Chains A and B, each alone.
Chain A
Amino acid sequence: SQQGEEDPQALSIQEGENATMNCSYKTSINNLQWYRQNSGRGLVHLILIRSNEREKHSGRLRVTLDTSKKSSSLLITASRAADTASYFCATDYRGANSKLTFGKGITLSVRP
């Protein structure tokens, strides 16, 4: 089963606009990670945020985590056509056998 659920499922924006993607999860986590995937092949790690952190930045990326609401958001500022990809949140939930569980992903299209 997939723990993280992203929304929206698809997002289309104009180049230069900001893109906000959300992820909700069900059980307590150790950390939450965001990945990007181009053309259905390898995933690229973007940001890892731990359960005791509330916000992290990396370049044009900003991730927030609200453990009380069991949700996270990924903000891409000043989007570029090259940001067009699928984005996944993945949760490392607290449990006997920790494993990274992915959501179904968000398809982001940035129009030039």
Chain B
Amino acid sequence: GAGVSQTPSNKVTEKGKYVELRCDPISGHTALYWYRQSLGQGPEFLIYFQGTGAADDSGLPNDRFFAVRPEGSVSTLKIQRTERGDSAVYLCASSADRWNTEAFFGQGTRLTVV
């Protein structure tokens, strides 16, 4: 595609439910990143994929968060037993390689846990 696509753009869920957020990176980009951004803050790193494997998942806050990228393109961020504190904008970015190249961000998914 022309850019990084994230779906849904908005998601409202009840506390305790499971959610999946999807990221479709730019075709051919091997590096994919998930960030989370709360109001008034900068993006907070969650996980980084190089190809199919998670090269760095040190930013995932706890074991309720998990992400996959099974074929090295589309990625899904999965959140189990959602909590109100999980409410944020979840941003995905991709780049042709690791961070010495420009990263392209999607428009984000705004997750609201009620």
Contact = CB atoms under 8 A, between A and B. Distances in A.
A100 B106 contact: no
Chain A contact patch, size range: 20 to 34
Contacts of B39: 40
A99 B59 contact: yes
Given A102-B45, A104-B40, 9 more contacts: A2-B42, A30-B99, A31-B99, A43-B105, A45-B102, A98-B99, A99-B48, A100-B99, A104-B41
What is the predominant secondary structure among interface residues of chain A facing chain B?
Answer: strand
Contacts of A48: 100-102
A45 B58 contact: no
B20 interface: no
B55 A97 contact: yes
Nearest to B108: A41
B42 A100 contact: no
B102 A100 contact: no
Interface of A: 2, 4, 30-31, 33, 35, 40-45, 48, 50, 88, 90, 92, 97-105
Interface in B38-75: 39-45, 48, 55-56, 58-59
12 contacts: A31-B99, A33-B102, A35-B105, A40-B89, A41-B107, A45-B102, A48-B101, A97-B48, A99-B33, A99-B45, A99-B56, A101-B45
